[in-house]
Amino acid sequence: MRYVRHCNRELRAAYIELLKQDAGQGAEFPLPDLLVAKDMTMPRHALLATLALCLMFLWTPASVAAQSETPLQDVLQTVQEQVARPSRAQVAAVLDALQAADAPGTMEFLNRWAARDVFERPEDGLFFYAREGESRSLTLIDLDTGADVAEVTSRDVNQIRVNAGVRREIEGALVTFELLAPDRARRLAAVRTIARSPEAEHIPVLESALAEEQDGAVAERMARVLDLLNARFATDGAARVAAIEGLSGDITTEARRALNQILSTRSEFAPEIPEGVNVARIRTPGEDLDLIAAYARLAEADLVPPRQGRNAIRDALRANVVDGEVGGIPVHQLDTDEMRRAAYTALEEAGSVAPLVTQSDMEAAVAEYVFFDAYIEPDQAVTDAARASLDSTRTAISLWQFLGISLDALSLASIFFLAAIGLAITFGVMRVINMAHGEFIMMGAYTGYVVQTVIPNLTTSLIVALPLAFAVTFAAGVAMERLVIRHLYTRPLETLLATFGISIALQQLAKNIFGTQARPLTSPDWLAGAIQINDVVSVASIRVAIFVMAIGFLLLLLFILNRTRLGLEVRAVTQNPGMAASMGINPDRINMLTFGLGSGIAGVAGVSIGLVAQVTSEMGANYIVQSFMTVVVGGVGSVFGTLAGAGLIGALQKGIEWFNPANTLAAQTYMVLFIILFIQFRPKGIVALKGRAAGD
């Protein structure tokens, strides 16, 4: 790029000389001095040749102009002495030469030079990288080609050792190189590096890079980091305040760290607050400052006698034992703090020990001083601006945290919906309390695990596992309805006990087949990680996928119930089974298909839940309670009611956890209590249906 700028100047000068020759010797042009050559009298054909040569050079491809083809070794030989024996005063010449040449491999050389991984061969002054071999031998590596050159010993070459000052200069140059790199990703990485480790020296470097940046997104990021640097390191107070105000509402980690560092304080005390001190807070001993701690600070400064603690009193009593007594009190009676203090008081009256510091003594001592927190930053305008910006940032963080909790609640609600929708259909149509519903979820999860052991590709296995889990649990549900449930339709209590026994049997069967250890159900790579919205809110990709699946099941069920003959028959049996039978609908067949459908949906839910939870034989029991609560709160037999119930329970649980995040068990307990109260006021749930399931 240096040669391009030089050619531009030559081109403009040649063009101006041509204009002068055309206009005559008497023409005058108001030209800047730098554009007027000292000797502008050259033949016209020479000027045309200069124009042609410069135009030919300027029209070469940008990739050629972007980086020279000069070998790195040749560039280094122009500053050989400074590279071989670097000092902070001479390193600038090396960096200027490297930046001007922009030779391939410059970045690697700077990194290795700083890491003391560059060697000089004394006989010719050439530089090499080196790789250690056997018997302390070194393999010299060519800087430009990376090829092995020769095998030498450490005595044959000189290792270039840079000191800390030179290393800092090199690191600064690396940042500059990266900020001006043609690759956008490298420039963004350099800006992130500055944001993580900001220094005052980065301000001019970033300002110059920002002036040349053409990418809008990169320029915006540079400007933001420049505000961070100016907020902390700018020498002008007004510039600092303006930069700090620009950070208002910025929830990034870098911005919050910069504001908190500006607002960092130190604890001090004095008879009165000194002038010029930027006070952050005045503390009152006994209220927002512990009285004993305040007195201890005075004692550390040798302003008051130290307070005697228990150990000091005990040591003083031991040192003054005379004939089995201390201050006239037998030793065996000194088993309480009250008796030890009485003995110490007696020694104090006799002048044997220092006076005991009492509560009133401490209060009187600390009353003579003012305890306060002072900002390390002396400029009050700067700290006031930082405090206002940080308050605005905290407000923004609170709003984003609320959004994050809402997204977590939505994710949890989608899991509850998937777990409960099958139970809602079964309970709504058949009024069967199926305590084995959780085990159908477990069966679906284990089906997904088995498929993954057979099909290594995680995406393919997931695609196969979802319909297979539906088929397996559908068949199991149909078998359970045909063999057990159909004989107990008129005996709900016995149905509950029977399904509870089946759930225990299924759990034990799973333990016998798969063992008691948790089995992995791994999500594909495209579902791994999280969607990072900002530094406060992120959502796991797998939870987004489960939410999308829940929406898909909702739409599918609505289509089945409202647009198919099976859905019409299900709704007819739900509302009035006797009338449905009289219209030619077989209620037993509908019950069987409905129970199988609900069980199949539970199996698909098991695959989804297994991706975010441990697959064990007891995993279904963890969701059966939430499933029943979701169905009861939402409204028995209603798809939209189940959706509303899942949303309410998910939001309630996450809301309670927000107030007490360390105790999820308490959150579940409060949630159950709330649901009990809710049912008292709305026993039919949020969306109440008429018919057999509603108790009509």
Give the model's pLDDT for residue 637: 65
Show the tokens assigned to 423: 């139970």
For 342-449, list the strands marked E by DSSP.
370-375
SS3 content of the chain, % helix, strand, coil (to 5): 65, 10, 30
The sign of the torsion formed by the CA atoms of 27, 33, 38, 41 equals: negative
Whole-prediction pTM? 0.65
Type of residue found at 130 = A
CA distance 446 to 607: 8
Distance CA 337, CA 318 (A): 14
Token pair 């006799």 is found at 350
Q: How many CB atoms lie within 10 A of CB 270?
A: 12
- pLDDT of 663 reads 62
pLDDT at residue 347, rounded to an integer: 83
The answer to whether residues 474 and 453 touch, using CB atoms and an 8 Å cutoff, is no
Average pLDDT, the chain: 81
In the 3-class helix/strand/coil scheme, how is 425-461 assigned residue by residue?
HHHHHHCCCCCCHHHHHHHHHHHHHHHHHHCCCHHHH
| Contact assessment for residue 635 and residue 641, using Cβ atoms and an 8 Å cutoff | yes
Chain segment 388-434, per-residue pLDDT in tens: 999 999 999 989 988 988 888 898 899 889 888 888 877 766 777 88
| Six token digits for residue 472 | 């397996």
CA angle, 214 as apex, 222 and 34 as ends, to 5°?
Answer: 105
Q: What is the pLDDT of residues 422-477, one digit of tens each?
A: 888 777 667 778 888 889 999 999 999 999 999 989 899 999 999 999 999 999 99
16-32 as b/e: b if 16+ CB within 10 A: bbbebbeeeeeeeeeee
List pLDDT tens digits, range 356-368.
888 888 889 999 9
The whole-number pLDDT of residue 688 equals: 66
CA distance 541 to 553: 18
Within 10 angstroms of residue 34's Cβ, the number of other Cβ atoms is 9
Cβ atoms 242, 388 nearer than 8 A:
no
Separation CA 448–CA 15 (nearest Å): 76
- SS3 (DSSP) at 77: helix
Structure tokens at 96: 């200027």
Q: What is the pLDDT of residues 101-112, one digit of tens each?
A: 778 888 788 888
Cα 365 to Cα 43, 269, 290, 358, distances in angstroms: 95, 12, 14, 11
Domains in the chain: ranges and CATH: 2-66 (no CATH), 72-167 (no CATH), 180-264 (no CATH), 266-375 (no CATH), 398-694 (1.10.3470)
Nearest Cα residue to 229 out of 263, 191, 175, 186:
191
For residue 238 the two structure tokens come to 């007004």
Residue ranges of the chain with pLDDT lower than 50? 1-67, 691-696
Q: Give CA–CA dist 588/569, Å, rounded.
A: 11
| Cβ-based neighbours of 160, under 8 Å, separated by 6 or more | 83, 84, 86, 113, 116, 118, 119, 120, 127
Q: Read off the pLDDT of residues 34-52 as tens digits, 9 standing for 90 and up.
A: 333 333 344 444 443 443 3
Instruction: Supply the pLDDT for residue 388.
Output: 92
Residue 533: which of 415, 396, 394 has the closest Cα? 396
User: Which of 44, 94, 88, 46 lies closest to 72, judged by CA?
Assistant: 94
Q: Say which DSSP state 519 is in.
A: B
The predicted structure's pLDDT at residue 212:
84
Q: Which long-range contacts (CB under 8 A, 24 or more apart) does 503-510 make?
A: 503/435, 503/436, 503/438, 503/439, 503/620, 503/621, 503/624, 506/436, 506/439, 506/442, 506/443, 507/439, 507/442, 507/617, 507/618, 507/620, 507/621, 508/617, 510/439, 510/442, 510/443, 510/446, 510/617
| Interatomic CA distance for residues 244 and 382, integer angstroms | 8
Report percent pLDDT > 90 for the chain: 16
- Report how far residue 338's alpha carbon sits from residue 329's, in angstroms, rounded to the nearest whole number: 12
Torsion sign, CA atoms 141, 147, 148, 149: negative
